[in-house]
Amino acid sequence: MKEVFVQKLISLAERDPRIVVITGDLGFGMFEPFQQRCPKQFLNAGVAEQNMVGLATGMALDGRVVFTYSIGNFGVLRCLEQIRNDAAYHDANVKVVTMGGGFSYGALGISHHATEDISVMRSMPGVVTLVPGDNWEAGEATEAVVKHSGTTYLRLDKTVADTTPEAGEHFEIGRARQVRAGSDITIIATGGILSCAVKAADSLRRFGVQCRVLSMHTIKPLDTAAIVQAAQETGGILTLEEHTVEGGLGGAVAEALLDRGIHPRVFQRMGLRAGFSSIVGSQDYLRRHYGLDETAVEAAVRDLLGRRS
């Protein structure tokens, strides 16, 4: 996703001198083309993420559209006070971008596992929260946050789903994408782990199980209409996220349904439930270990359908 993000950002920044990128002392190989083509729109704040957000807020309040960039936890948790008190409170045009959602940096351990950031950022008043699941969504989301006025969070992943947009399809903040049709059950996924949802749905289709798959690329504002429609038209809902289940996508979906008095026939949240992800390994390994890969998703769907019966 990061290559798509940078290429989109370059094309936007060349046309819009308001766009500025501030990095927290990383991503130089990735940002080198940006720096070469837009040298006056790039700044390295050093290993000082709190200062990075403070700088970004000041520049945004002076009329710029400022992207801050760091690894998952560093760009959110390390500078949360500044995101809250400086950027979000003043509704500044600060675009918080992190690379490495979920277990993307799995081998580097808990300090690099971004598994609470969605909960934190979606609870922040006024902060639009985007978690694209494929490369097309990542590129479109980058353009969308430039057009959106106010503080946003864009969470990028090292893995992507192998999905493509329909002809003429348009990306819209707050509107989910249906990437697979079906009526037996709905899998709602966010982020790169959408790939596991799609693989599970395609595998189940060979056995006559028709799964609807929604890519919930926007956690806030949430597409409640698509969620309610899925609950009413399909046999149940399974949410999937590479993130703690506490306060993340699954909680947001449950809140949306219960607030409206909608009760799906079956419902389950799939995400991290075992506390902190205290082991290390590749992203695929950690997904398997915590029961979040396509095999686990397929088994969960079968279990839900059995319970429904």
**Which of helix, strand or coil describes residue 115?**
coil
- pLDDT at position 134, please? 98
Instruction: Name the CATH code of domain 177-308 (choices 3.40.50.300, 3.90.320.10, 3.30.450.190, 3.40.50.920).
Output: 3.40.50.920
Name the token pair of 214. 């929604």
* pLDDT over 80 at 308, yes or no: no
Q: Which band of pLDDT confidence, cut at 50, 70 and 90, is reported for residue 309?
A: low
Residue whose pair of structure tokens reads 């946050």 in the numeric block:
145
Q: Is the dihedral of CA 155, 159, 162, 167 positive or negative?
A: positive
* pLDDT over 90 at 141, yes or no: yes
DSSP assignment of 167-204 = TT----TT--EEEE--SSEEEEE-STTHHHHHHHHHHH
- pLDDT at position 293, please? 98
- Say how far apart CA 103 and CA 281 lie, in whole Å: 9
In the chain, ranges of CATH 3.40.50.920 domains: 177-308
Q: Which band of pLDDT confidence, cut at 50, 70 and 90, is reported for residue 307?
A: confident
| pLDDT tens, position by position, 62-98 | 999 999 999 999 999 999 999 999 999 999 999 999 9
Percentage of the residues of the chain whose pLDDT score is greater than 90 = 95
In the chain, ranges of CATH 3.40.50.970 domains: 2-156
Domain 2-156 matching CATH 3.40.50.620: the answer reads no
Name the token pair of 7. 């290429």
| pLDDT tens, position by position, 256-293 | 999 999 999 999 999 999 788 889 999 999 999 999 99
Catalytic option among 49, 140, 294, 298: 49
Mean pLDDT of 135-163: 97
Q: For this structure, is 49 an active site residue?
A: yes
Mean pLDDT of 153-170: 95
- Average pLDDT over the chain reads 96
- Say how far apart CA 22 and CA 265 lie, in whole Å: 47
Taking residue 176's Cβ as centre, other Cβ atoms within 10 Å add up to 21
